[in-house]
Amino acid sequence: MKKLVSATLIAAALTGCASMKNDDGSLNKTTSYGGLAALAGGVAGALINHNNPGQGALIGAAIAGSAGAGYGYYVDKQEAELRESMKGSGVEVEREGDQLKLVMPGSITFATGQAEIQPSFQYTLNQLAASFRQFQDSDLIVTGHTDSVGSYETNQLLSARRADSVSQFLRSNGVDPSRLQTLGAGSSSPIAPNNTAEGRAQNRRVEIKLVPRSGAVAQE
């Protein structure tokens, strides 16, 4: 019986993972999520269906694999749309597993020492708001960052005000306020050394992290 369950789980995993690579050899995140979810679902199905664990594994793998692939497909679509709409804007789109992160340099979003969004950047934020309204299965964590110049208190306040400005702009352009969380990180999370002008410029930024919304079910 154990051999049957093991063989079934392997088959389920292979089914979900068979086409994990794209034509160029890169990893296809959608099928990766499906394969991993299928394996987990197969284990759960086998445990639940004591009378026929082989059948339970197959059913569990099919259901979980479909759900995992569905969320991966959702993130793939959102990532592609954001990369296209942010071309030439100065905003970087980064993928971290099942999360997306947008990095907005301070040089294009705010004047030095200010928290009011520059008029030239409002068009880009309008595009982001439109994307967030289209893809509603993610929560948005908006975090402001500064370089290390100035006092801790000054940097903390400035980073929080800038993050709040971005959040307010998104809310005023139709993004559900319940999806938004605003944080000020000050100079506590540098991404480059602060001992050079180039490094300090990279550290002055606002980031928006897109994370799966609790209870949301992405639709393909």
Are residues 34 and 68 part of one domain? yes
**Domain termination site, one of 48, 80, 112:** 80
104-162 per-position pLDDT tens digit = 999 999 998 999 999 999 999 999 999 999 999 999 999 999 999 999 999 999 999 99
Q: Residue type for 183, please?
A: L
| pLDDT at position 65 | 47
Distance CA 175, CA 190 (A): 28
Domain count, the chain: 2
Residue 217 lies in a domain: no
Predicted structure pTM score: 0.70
At 93, is the secondary structure helix, strand, or coil? strand
CB 147 within 8 A of CB 156: no
Q: Residue 207: helix, strand or coil by DSSP?
A: strand
Dihedral angle computed from the Cα positions of residues 119, 163, 167 and 114, in that order, rounded to the nearest 10 degrees: -30
Per-residue pLDDT reduced to its tens digit, 13-53 = 444 444 455 554 545 555 555 554 444 454 444 444 556 55
Q: What percent of the chain has pLDDT over 90?
A: 60
- Hey, what are 205's tokens? 């930024």
Give yes or no: residues 127 and 69 share one domain: no
Domain that holds residue 138: 90-212
CATH code of the domain in which 167 resides: 3.30.1330.60
Distances (CA, A) of 27 to 18, 38, 66, 97, 100: 12, 17, 18, 12, 16
